[in-house]
Amino acid sequence: MAPKKSKKSKQEDSMIDFVEEEVSGDVDEEGFEEAEDIVVDSEEDEPPKKKKKVIKKEVKQELELTDEKLQELLEKYEASKSTATKTKDDFKHLPKSQRGKALKRALRKDKRARQEERTKIRDELGESAPQKEVPKTIESMREYDATMVDEQDDEVEHDEANDEFAPYFNRETTPKVMITMTPKAKITTFKFCFELQKCIPNSEMFTRKNVLLKTIIEQAKEREFTDLLVVHEDRKKPNGIIFCHLPEGPTAYFKINSLTFTQDLKKFGESTAHFPEVILNNFNTRLGHNIARMLACLFPHDPKFTGRRVVTFHNQRDYIFFRHHRYEFKKEGTKAALLELGPRFTLRLKWLQKGTFDAKWGEFEWVLKRHEMETSRRRFFL
């Protein structure tokens, strides 16, 4: 013990010397603080056990306080959550025409105040704070669908390994897409087809020339096309797409909503010929999986990452939003900047048919029927 003490004393001496030097320099306050620290250190060295006891007592007191306080705070928290303090009776002094507005304003203010109160209580409670409630959105309240796909489902995996798109995902086929439109299509439809052609690599556009769809399908099969897109129009504007996977794949009909051409976007870039990446978001059910796989089949296998092109099909509440971007990673890969390239439009699935297009005798896998199926706002199929 003796040598240690001597060492400490030496250290203290040296520290004090150091402090004196600092004081003799410019900064007075810092020097004093350090001196105080040293004093404290020496105290701790002399009666270490007593100090610890004192600290323990303090901790115990705090714990007791929290035990009592906890329930109070929790009650307060619940209270602040549940009730609004203002009612419409508070505004009877106002003329009738102003009561509603005043009440709304007051309620909003009250809501904010209660929120702040809750955050304060939450800070006080620390770890023992009650869990924050998850906001109730249409997505989170979605009605249960029996065909929701889990990540590890052998049956689904087996089915998907043997469906019509399997050759694409096994890299046996390379996508080659044919784009046509209704006979006697008008200029906007052509424009839309051109834009589609830009988005989808390895795609060819043909005018329809009043040929039947079934014969077109046969010809496309002969020329080894893997997909067929037929754009339908109404009142000179594209309003639907028949999407047929070849040679034997399913056929889907999508309605096109809110189509915006590249030229009409506020800010747009020029598309490049690189193979794009594909993002398919939120396709959760079996049907959704099928549609997603179908859409993925349009694009070639190995995207060129140097092109930084990305095509997105984002499903939200059964609306499939199509976007086409060029991205750039910024700030050392913590952010991605996006520049929109292509058209934007929204697809809504109307029906899905097994086999190639056959309107009369085809076997429909799924048809959107308004009265039977749209029973709730929270029921989605994709």
Partner 1 sequence: MQCDDVTWNILHKGQCSYKAWSKPKMFCRNEMNLTGLCNRASCPLANSQYATVREENGVCYLYAKVVERSHYPRRLWEKTKLSKDMNKALEQISDQLIHWSEYVRHKCKARLIRIHQYLIRMRKMAVRGNQKKLIPIGRKVERREKRREEKALVAAKLDHAIEKELLARLKQGTYGDVYNFRQEAFEQMLENTEKELEIEQEVEQDDPDTGETQFVADFDSSDDEEDMEDGGDGHWSPEETDSENEETWQQQEEESDGDDDGEDGGEPMEVDEPPKKKSKKEVKKKTVKKAADGKKKKLKKRAHVEIEYEEEVEPRQRVKA
* Of 261 and 319, CB closest to partner 1: 319
Shortest spacing between CB 297 and partner 1, in angstroms: 19
298-317 residues in contact with partner 1 (CB under 8 A) are: 305-306, 310, 312, 314, 316-317
86-115 residues in contact with partner 1 (CB under 8 A) are: none
2-41 residues in contact with partner 1 (CB under 8 A) are: none
143 scored as a contact of partner 1 (CB under 8 A): no
334 scored as a contact of partner 1 (CB under 8 A): yes
Shortest spacing between CB 362 and partner 1, in angstroms: 14
258 scored as a contact of partner 1 (CB under 8 A): yes
Shortest spacing between CB 202 and partner 1, in angstroms: 22
Strands 237-245 and 177-181: unpaired
257 scored as a contact of partner 1 (CB under 8 A): yes
370 scored as a contact of partner 1 (CB under 8 A): yes
Shortest spacing between CB 318 and partner 1, in angstroms: 8
Q: Tell me the window of 17-25, 43-51, 163-171, 206-214 that interacts with partner 1 (CB under 8 A).
A: 206-214
356 scored as a contact of partner 1 (CB under 8 A): no
169 scored as a contact of partner 1 (CB under 8 A): no
- Contact with partner 1 (CB under 8 A) among 190, 261, 275, 321: 321
Whether the CA torsion 74, 76, 79, 84 is positive or negative: it is negative
139 scored as a contact of partner 1 (CB under 8 A): yes
218 scored as a contact of partner 1 (CB under 8 A): no
Backbone angles phi, psi at 318, to 5 degrees: 70, 5
Interface with partner 1: number of residues (CB under 8 A): 38
Shortest spacing between CB 281 and partner 1, in angstroms: 6
Shortest spacing between CB 121 and partner 1, in angstroms: 30
131 scored as a contact of partner 1 (CB under 8 A): no
223-242 residues in contact with partner 1 (CB under 8 A) are: none
Burial class (CB in 10 A: 0-12, 13-18, 19+), 285: middle
323 scored as a contact of partner 1 (CB under 8 A): yes
Q: What is the 3-state secondary structure (H, E, C) of the chain?
A: CHHHHHHHHHHHHHHHHHHHHHHHCCCHHHHHHHHHHHHHHHHHHCCHHHHHHHHHHHHHHHHHHHHHHHHHHHHHHHHHHHCCCCCHHHHCCCCHHHHHHHHHHHHHHHHHHHHHHHHHHHHHHHHHCCCCCCCCCCCCCCCCCCCECCCCCHHHHHHHHCCCCHHHHCCCCCCCEEEEECCCCCHHHHHHHHHHHHHCCCEEECCCCCCCHHHHHHHHHHCCCCEEEEEEEECCEEEEEEEEECCCCCEEEEEEEEEECHHHCCCCCCCCCCCCEEEEECCCEHHHHHHHHHHHCCCCCCCCCCCCEEEEEEEECCEEEEEEEEEEEECCCCEEEEEECCCEEEEEEEEEEECCCCCCCCEEEEECCHHHHCCCCCCCCC
Q: Tell me the window of 63-71, 146-154, 187-195, 332-340 that interacts with partner 1 (CB under 8 A).
A: 332-340
339 scored as a contact of partner 1 (CB under 8 A): no
> Residue numbers of the site for partner 1 (CB under 8 A)?
137-139, 183, 210, 212-214, 257-258, 277, 279, 281, 305-306, 310, 312, 314, 316-319, 321, 323, 325, 327, 329, 332-336, 338, 346, 348, 359, 370, 377
